[in-house]
Amino acid sequence: MNDDRLEICHACGGPLILKRVEKLLRSGVHTAIVEVGAEVCQRCGEQLFSAETVRQFEKIRGKLARQETADFLPLGQSFQVSPVEGQPSS
Binding residues vs Zn ion (CB under 5 A): 9, 11-12, 14, 41, 43-44, 46
Q: Which is nearer to Zn ion, 9 or 38 (CB)?
A: 9
Q: Which is nearer to Zn ion, 28 or 45 (CB)?
A: 45
Cβ–Cβ < 8 Å for 59, 52: no
* Residues 28/33/39/42 CA torsion (nearest 10 deg): 110
Q: What's CA 62's distance to the chain center, in Å?
A: 15
Work out how close the CB of 25 gets to Zn ion at its nearest, in angstroms, rounded to a whole number. Answer: 22
Q: Which is nearer to Zn ion, 43 or 61 (CB)?
A: 43
